[in-house]
Homo-oligomer: A and B are copies of this chain.
Amino acid sequence: MAELSAESGIPVATIKYYLREGLLPAGERTSPNQARYGEEHVRRLKLIRALVEVGGLSVATVREVVAAVESDQAAYKVLGVMQGALTGSAVDVSDEDREWATGLLGALAREHGWKFEDDNPVAGMLVGTVCAIRALGHQALLDQLGRYADVADRIALADLDTIDAVGSMDRIVEAAVVGTVLGDRLFAGLRRLAQAAETARRYSEW
């Protein structure tokens, strides 16, 4: 374990915590107080740490995502589990609000050639989000939905080019996890920098 810590740059206490929490598979035991860890453990450790510390995911969410990555399910199923875990539980909305939001988002999806299905956790999250924005009276944000959707199409092309560049299938799933969790953070940060610059341009006194 000391070697695993040195190799990955992650403290022994943190590794023990990840093992206890079931995020990292146990090493191959070679004596009562020694175990062998391989390259895969080092990779997995780095992935877990990135998801927890940089991506800000909870240990419970990482456990779900890691279990899906390790399973023998088809890649699209793994990605579905990951999206569900990342999206969180849906927020309660009234039937009237749901109908309005589904109409708004469904029309947008059709325009962009996207699927918008009730049982998709992402669709549920979007319904809750647009309802909350409307309840807060921020119609101006909803007025920009079309522009946000155009930008989403553009960024999805870059996202998929990233995935295409990865050769092997098991690395593709990992790349999608990294691209989703860290890619969202990365883009959120760039968006902040661009917003700050645009704010300075428009409101020079800020």
Chain A interface (Cβ within 8 Å of chain B)?
43, 46-47, 49-50, 53-54, 56, 74-76, 83, 87-88, 91, 109, 112-116, 122-123, 125-126, 128-130, 132-133, 135-136, 138, 140-141, 143-145, 147-149, 151-166, 174-175, 178-179, 182-200, 202, 206
Contacts and interface: CB of A to CB of B under 8 A. Distances in A.
Contacts of A194: 112, 114, 149, 152-153, 155-156
A128 to B, nearest CB: 5
8 contacts: A53-B128, A74-B206, A114-B197, A140-B161, A144-B159, A144-B162, A147-B158, A151-B158
B56 A88 contact: yes
Contacts of A156: 191, 194-195, 197-198
Contacts of A154: 147, 151, 154
Contacts of A159: 144, 191, 195, 198
A96 to B, nearest CB: 12
Contacts of A88: 56
A165 to B, nearest CB: 4
